[in-house]
């Protein structure tokens, strides 16, 4: 069987199964099984499938995923996340402080949680009613919070960077380090968007909020937990004291202590966090397992290598290849969520990017930013529906989309900056080496 027959067959079956409503993990596995049976026969294929699936569930590196998810759920169900927003909002007496505070709170939340959707849900649940009460335009308020949640994907620790490192066999620690400077630049770009929006449409942002400032004790309670958790993760990974998995374990334990101690977490909230983590990992675990089978079939028939050779035979320049790949992901992101895209497409795309001569740490950051764009593009933009759901029908999905457009443009600007100045992503990892 030729490699292109396999590639077209896998893609066709995958689209068929997704089209009839099969969940993506089952669609991936179902598309892979006919080719696996052809390679190994019925009995051998079943045994090898079981071994590959078991190998995913006992992978030490992957243990970091449920730990980071659990950490984010704990913060979301305690008062740590809401307190952080209130401090960022009230601590600065400038026009638009609630919008700037939302961005800063999302960035702070991103430093301890790698999930975009959890970030939007946690900060948005507190900030959106507050911004509406203060008189912010619905499009600006929803756009700030939907886009702000994506900072959790770029500012380490990041689940997308973690999955990228696993699929491409790239250093997860270096990827986390590389995401820091672009993440801070994106925070600045988001603030610029809010400032320009306020200049163009003064009525969309109220005057300076005169709410009483937080006391020193309230500030310590608001910032202290996030600072400690972020410090543990950052120092332990970047100094080489701990692996990302070990850092996630220690940070999760610290979060439990802080969530109960100063975050007002209840036993019911703790149980809810456990259940939410198990539900998330049930899906992610199946997706990871199915992705292994899908990747095995691709690798066995050398589809990524042959595809790379075919692509390079067209003699396109490296940046033309990059432009095509970015455009491909932006379009695909309108229909698939980022984790599924990672396991379906990266096994084929990353050999192509290597052959084009790009640094895989640098490409990991560019890839992650395109995933941020994916969660803001309809019809399957997860953050759009999170914010629209938080509003309880008071904000239409069209307003959320409209509000996100300037922030998507700022992400495109960041990609352009990374292309023009690759050192934006590569300087810090190289320095810390």
Residue 356: DSSP 8-state: T
- The dihedral region occupied by 340, where left means phi > 0, alpha psi between -120 and 50, and beta the remainder, is alpha
Give the chain's largest Cα–Cα span: 72
Q: Looking at 131-181, which runs of residues are DSSP E strands?
A: none
Q: Residue 375 falls within a domain, yes or no?
A: yes
pLDDT for 369 equals 94
Query: What is the total count of domains within the chain?
Result: 1
Q: Residue 140 falls within a domain, yes or no?
A: yes
Please choose, from the candidates 311, 412, 409, 428, the residue with its C-alpha nearest in 3D space to the C-alpha of residue 362: 428
Domain boundaries, position 233: 3-14+24-432
Q: Residue 232 falls within a domain, yes or no?
A: yes
pLDDT for 23 equals 84
Alpha-carbon distance of 385 to 378, in angstroms, equals 9
Alpha-carbon distance of 179 to 369, in angstroms, equals 10
Which portions of the chain are predicted below pLDDT 70?
A: 1, 45, 48, 52, 55-57, 88-93, 114, 208-217, 219, 380, 433
Q: Token digits for 92?
A: 């600065």
Integer angstrom CA distances of residue 318 from 95, 277, 354, 369: 44, 40, 10, 19
Alpha-carbon distance of 125 to 119, in angstroms, equals 10
- Whether 140 and 146 have beta carbons less than 8 Å apart is answered as no
Alpha-carbon distance of 309 to 3, in angstroms, equals 12
Q: Residue 147 falls within a domain, yes or no?
A: yes
Alpha-carbon distance of 29 to 294, in angstroms, equals 7
Q: Residue 297 falls within a domain, yes or no?
A: yes
- pTM value surpassing 0.75: yes
Residue 68 neighbours by CB under 8 Å, 6+ apart: 113, 114, 115, 157, 159, 162, 248, 252
Q: Residue 19 falls within a domain, yes or no?
A: no
307-333 per-position pLDDT tens digit: 778 777 787 888 988 998 998 888 888
- Whether 45 and 33 have beta carbons less than 8 Å apart is answered as yes
Helix, strand, or coil here: 316? coil
Q: Residue 242 falls within a domain, yes or no?
A: yes
């Amino acid at each position: 069987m030729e490699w292109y027959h396999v590639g077209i067959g896998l893609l066709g079956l995958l689209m068929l199964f997704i089209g009839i409503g099969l969940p993506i993990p089952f669609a991936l596995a179902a598309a892979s099984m006919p080719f696996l049976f052809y390679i190994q026969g019925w009995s051998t294929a079943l045994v090898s499938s079981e071994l590959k699936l078991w190998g995913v569930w006992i992978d030490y590196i992957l243990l970091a995923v449920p730990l980071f998810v659990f950490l984010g759920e704990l913060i979301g169900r305690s008062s740590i996340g809401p307190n952080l927003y209130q401090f960022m909002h009230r601590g600065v007496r400038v026009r638009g402080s609630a919008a700037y505070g939302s961005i800063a709170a999302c960035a702070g939340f991103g430093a301890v949680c790698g999930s975009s959707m959890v970030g939007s849900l946690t900060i948005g649940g507190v900030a959106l009613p507050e911004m509406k009460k203060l008189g912010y335009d619905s499009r600006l308020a929803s756009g700030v919070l939907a886009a702000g949640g994506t900072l959790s994907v770029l500012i380490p620790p990041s689940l997308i960077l973690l999955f990228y490192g696993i699929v491409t066999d790239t250093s997860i620690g270096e990827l986390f380090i590389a995401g820091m400077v672009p993440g801070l630049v994106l925070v600045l770009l988001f603030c610029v968007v809010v400032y320009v929006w306020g200049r163009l449409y003064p009525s969309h942002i109220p005057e300076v909020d005169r709410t009483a400032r937080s006391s020193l004790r309230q500030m310590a309670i608001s910032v202290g937990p996030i600072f400690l958790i972020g410090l543990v993760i950052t120092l332990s990974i970047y100094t080489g004291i701990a692996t990302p998995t070990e850092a996630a374990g220690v940070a999760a334990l610290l979060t439990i202590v802080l969530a109960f101690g100063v975050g007002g977490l209840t036993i019911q909230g703790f149980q809810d966090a456990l259940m939410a983590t198990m539900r998330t990992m049930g899906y992610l675990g199946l997706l990871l397992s199915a992705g292994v089978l899908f990747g095995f079939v691709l690798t066995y028939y050398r589809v990524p290598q042959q595809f790379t050779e075919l692509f390079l035979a067209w003699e396109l320049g490296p940046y033309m290849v990059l432009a095509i790949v970015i455009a491909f992901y932006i379009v695909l992101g309108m229909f698939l969520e980022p984790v599924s895209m990672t396991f379906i497409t990266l096994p084929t795309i990353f050999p192509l990017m290597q052959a084009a001569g790009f640094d895989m740490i640098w490409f990991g950051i560019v890839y992650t930013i395109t995933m941020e764009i994916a969660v803001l593009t309809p019809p399957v933009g997860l953050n759009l529906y999170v914010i629209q759901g938080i509003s309880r029908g008071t904000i239409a999905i069209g307003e959320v989309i409209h509000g996100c457009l300037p922030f998507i443009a700022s992400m495109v600007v960041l990609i352009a900056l990374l292309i023009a100045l690759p050192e934006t992503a590569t300087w810090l990892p190289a320095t810390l080496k």
